Structure 1
Amino acid sequence: MAHEISILTEAELRKTVKLDLTVIDTVEQAFAALASGEVVMPPILSMEIPQANGEVDVKTAYIPGFDGFAIKVSPGFFDNPKIGLPSLNGLMILFSAKTGLVEALFLDNGYLTDIRTAAAGAVAARHMAPETVETAGVIGTGVQARLQIEAAHLVRPFRKVLVWGRDLANAERCAADIAASLGIEARAEADPARLVAESQLVVTTTPSREPVLKAEWLHPGLHITAMGSDQSGKNELDPEILDEANAYVCDRVSQCEKLGELRSAIEAGLWTKGKPAELGQVISGAGKGRTSAGDITVCDLTGTGAQDTAIATLARRLCIAAGSGTVITA
């Protein structure tokens, strides 16, 4: 028996799915579901292709109560900019959670991943950053640097942004883009220590394999969201930071142990606090996050299949309402 499949391109998705509070709330719902223990989320299938400076991740999750489940294929080939291509691309497939039939194919080139990743950062900021953030800092100058700040601004409307990158010209371009999109002051900062000192919220968005944020830069009232480490060789935070923080929270402990900042802290023998809380537990109140304005808090985001299922389900709903995409019969 034939059934209909919606096919959406990146251009169509960009018109229909925006980085807004609806997306942030949807991703927050996915994290809260993870804390319930009822989500089925297998480990990430991850493959490195060192000859091409590339990697491929495959993620999925079934969330009870959601009509569908997504399987996302996400390649990252980091030499691509040298030949005029983006580093990240990929696609998502949304299946019916009742019949297993394909419902939608999102040829998004990583756009939905970008949006849900930024939304996850906003969820972390909403539940762990100080109530008042005057200045936000971002370490990194790519797409996520821009989107993480845009998303965080929706939940903590700061007045100023500082940007640090290894290439000052890239940092200046990133700051100019942020200033234009948010209508607030944003500038490049040549000294990452000064960026951290002046910020109450710092997001790290790099593929670095050496720490870009040092433990000696910590100060009371700081929240750090580290979202760049999603492969076993990556490491953005000085491992001592996790031990010194008042609260260190993972998106998924089992992933952070293998792919995130927790892996580096364990390998260095600097993690002594037992099993960390997960972001979903902080949302539900079952885990400890920020307990006072002076706390130092860290959220480690490696990216979960639950986020992909959440954003794909929302994207399908929004695209149907907008009449977007092409429908084929299979």
Structure 2
Amino acid sequence: MKTLLVTGGAGFIGSCFVLQRIAAGDKVINLDKLTYSGNLMNLKDVESNPNYVFIHGDIGDEKLLRKVLPEYQPDAVVNFAAESHVDRSIVDPDSFVRTNVMGTSILLRCVKDWWNTLEAEKKSAFRFHHISTDEVFGTLSMTDPAFTEETKFAPNSPYSASKASSDHFVRAFHETYGLPTVITNCSNNYGPRQFPEKLIPLMTLNAIQGKPLPIYGSGENIRDWLHVEDHCEAIYDVLTRGRVGETYNVGGRSERNNITIVTKICEILDELRPRKDGKSYKEQITHVADRLGHDLRYAIDCSKIERELGWTPKHKFEDGLRETIEWYLNNSEWVESIQTGEYKNWLKTNYGSRNELS
């Protein structure tokens, strides 16, 4: 049994990782600030498990970190804590700097200081795993090869710039202080419990609530889609068997453009929960003014993790998408708890001023 300090463990990807590790018999200390996208309902299945501890706190709280680390003596720190939505970063870039850059730096410094107090064997076995994104690499044309671990950073949004900075800090703490770190850069995640500001849950819930399905521009922007469960298995493989100081790309090998995704969501909903008027949900698709600096295409070459660790994505996208939609349809209590006033205000802020394209 390992003891893992997981930061941001109440969020979408973090909660999936926590659930997987508790099921495997590990002990998890979940440190989460519980901002708008953190939801303890994601973890209700383990809240009474003796191997699970929740701490309400911020990775930027140095005093708290210097208490938690020696108290729980983790074998690893897995850092999911981040502001992660591009549109929000365009509206409020400073909050992304505070959490993703300053917060990660403070976390690294506190972990490094505590790590230096450990005995040699435990010090050698310790790992700091930082979860990052493919967006740090910028954008690709339709014909460019996929991102590799050697692709230079070229972030195009405040979000991706803040994540690129945090990646650099993690690498610097390894190179300067010898802290045993690993980094993973993942493609677009999907699956159950994702906060509904992201494409798949937003379109699913808007559709069944009779609202427009807003697609930026022509909808031709392409992403590589990775099921969250596959991603979390990759994270654990890198954490336990990855080479110290290395970065691993994690992708789903499932490139799709946005209009294709939304159209498929409509087709699945037409089957699973038909509109009362008999029409297709596709009639709710609305093209709106594009996002500022919208990257055209992301694609991940994940051959390194496949070659070195034997990891491959298990979910076929079409099957995973259907299962995800079914989860949202069958978990109305979770959905209602998420769609609070803050969430409604955000939708109004982000989409209310966008002109519909003719």
Q: TM-score, normalised by structure 1?
A: 0.33
Say which one has the larger Rg.
2
Q: Say which structure is richer in strand.
A: 1
Q: Say which structure is richer in helix.
A: 2
Asked which structure has the greater RCO (Cα within 8 Å, sep 6+), the reply is 1
Q: TM-score, normalised by structure 2?
A: 0.31
